[in-house]
A and B are shown apart, each in its own frame.
Chain A
Amino acid sequence: MGNVRANLRRLPAFLRAAIFRVGMPDSDRTRLKAVMSSLFLHIHAPKVHQHSLQWWYTLGLGLISTFLFILLTLSGVVLMIYYVPSVGEAYGRMQDLMHAVAWGRVLRNLHRWTAHGMVVAVLLHMMRVFYTGSYKAPRELNWLVGLALLVVTLALAFTGYLLPWDQLGYWAAVCGVNIAASPTEVTDALGVTQSLDVGGWQRQLLLGGREIGGDALNRFYVLHCVVLPLIGAGFMALHFFRVHKDGLSRPDESAAARDDA
Chain B
Amino acid sequence: MAQADDARDEGRRRFLVKVGAAGLAGSGVVATLGTVAFSDLRAYNERSPVFKLGRPEDFASGTRVYLDGPRLFVGRDTRGLYAVSAVCSHLGCIVRDGGEGFACPCHGSRFDARGAVIGGPAPRPLSYVALTVEPNGLVYANVASRVDPDDRLEV
Contact = CB atoms under 8 A, between A and B. Distances in A.
A185 interface: yes
B92 to A, nearest CB: 5
B91 interface: yes
A214 interface: yes
* Chain B contact surface mostly: loop
Contacts of B45: 209, 213-215
A161 B91 CA distance: 17
Given A175-B106, A185-B123, A213-B46, A208 B41 contact: yes
A5 B107 CA distance: 76
Contacts of B39: 204-205, 208
Contacts of A174: 91-93
Contacts, number: 35
Interface string A219-251: 000000000000000000000000000000000
Interface residues of B, number: 13
A179 B90 CA distance: 9
Interface string B83-99: 00000001111000000
Contacts of A166: none
Contacts of A178: 90-92
B44 A209 contact: yes
B1 interface: no
B36 A205 contact: yes
A171 B92 CA distance: 8
A140 interface: no
B92 A175 contact: yes
B71 to A, nearest CB: 10
B93 A171 contact: yes
B17 to A, nearest CB: 22
A204 B40 contact: yes
Contacts of A258: none
A213 B36 CA distance: 20
Contact of B41 (A185, A211, A215): A215
A204 B41 CA distance: 9
A210 interface: yes
Interface in B34-81: 36, 39-41, 44-46
Interface of B: 36, 39-41, 44-46, 90-93, 106, 123
